[in-house]
Amino acid sequence: MSDLSPPLLDAETAGTEVGHAHQDELRLWLRLLTCTNMIEGQIRSRLRADFDVTLPRFDLMAQLYRAADGMMMSEVSKRMMVSSGNVTLIVEHLLASGDVERQTSAHDRRAQLIRLTEAGRVHFREMASAHEAWIAGMFDGLTQKDIANLMKLLAKAKASLQADLSQHGSSADTPVVKKPSSRRSR
């Protein structure tokens, strides 16, 4: 076991004020972060506990599940927004577990087509179904109206973020979302 046994303390207990101008925005960000981390952490550990699978592998399987004819490595890399080197590694694990199969493209001998095996499809459906139930359970305390409101406000926030992002750095091919791996889907 690790020596890590954190208290229920969460981000918002913190808050080092250096300036006071934009406290609310800061607090909002921290709360957003807390919620996301709680959910992501749960999904991650339940996937591991119940299915012995990592989140990146689940995400990749989700991508393939929707593409019955399979996908090129590069396509997967683009969709998951992770490097191709990373895709290579994840695919290797999934090949080993028999969830994925790989074949060289007929047209382009550089390109590799990967797709879920039949076992992989079955396996993914089980996981996806559990995953959906977990999330429903986590949001059980919200009404449908709460959920709708949250969706609306987060859409607005996202628009605001995109507006801000487009002003900054993104000069050319800068990865705009940056560390967006854990994309889940489903």
Partner DNA sequence: AAAAACTACTTTAATCTTAAAATAGTTTGG
Partner DNA sequence: CCAAACTATTTTAAGATTAAAGTAGTTTTT
- Of 32, 33, 38, 111, the residue at the interface with DNA (CB under 7 A) is 111
Write down the least CB distance from residue 184 to DNA, Å: 12
| Residue 8 binding: pick among DNA, a second copy, none (C-beta 5-8 Å cut-off by kind) | a second copy
Task: Classify residue 174 by its DSSP letter.
Answer: -
Cα 168 from Cα 173, distance rounded (Å): 13
Specify the residue, 44 or 121, whose C-beta has the smaller distance to DNA: 44
Specify the residue, 28 or 111, whose C-beta has the smaller distance to a second copy: 28
CA 115-91-185 angle, 5° bins: 70
Going 82 to 84 to 85 to 90, the CA torsion angle's sign is positive
Tracing tokens 């396996």 back to the chain, one arrives at: 123
Cα 20 from Cα 10, distance rounded (Å): 21
54 binds DNA (CB under 7 A): yes
- Number of amino acids touching DNA (CB under 7 A): 37
| Residue 173 binding: pick among a second copy, DNA, none (C-beta 5-8 Å cut-off by kind) | a second copy
Write down the least CB distance from residue 55 to DNA, Å: 6
- The two tokens of residue 31 are 């709360």
The residues with which 141 forms a beta bridge, in sequence order, are none
Is 121 exposed, middle or buried (CB count within 10 Å of its CB: 0-12, 13-18, 19+)?
A: middle
| Residue 112 binding: pick among a second copy, DNA, none (C-beta 5-8 Å cut-off by kind) | DNA
Cα 130 from Cα 135, distance rounded (Å): 9
Specify the residue, 2 or 144, whose C-beta has the smaller distance to DNA: 2
Write down the least CB distance from residue 64 to a second copy, Å: 10
Intra-chain end-to-end CA distance of the chain, in Å: 32
| Residue 73 binding: pick among DNA, a second copy, none (C-beta 5-8 Å cut-off by kind) | DNA
| Residue 56 binding: pick among DNA, a second copy, none (C-beta 5-8 Å cut-off by kind) | DNA
Specify the residue, 96 or 118, whose C-beta has the smaller distance to a second copy: 118
Specify the residue, 11 or 72, whose C-beta has the smaller distance to a second copy: 11
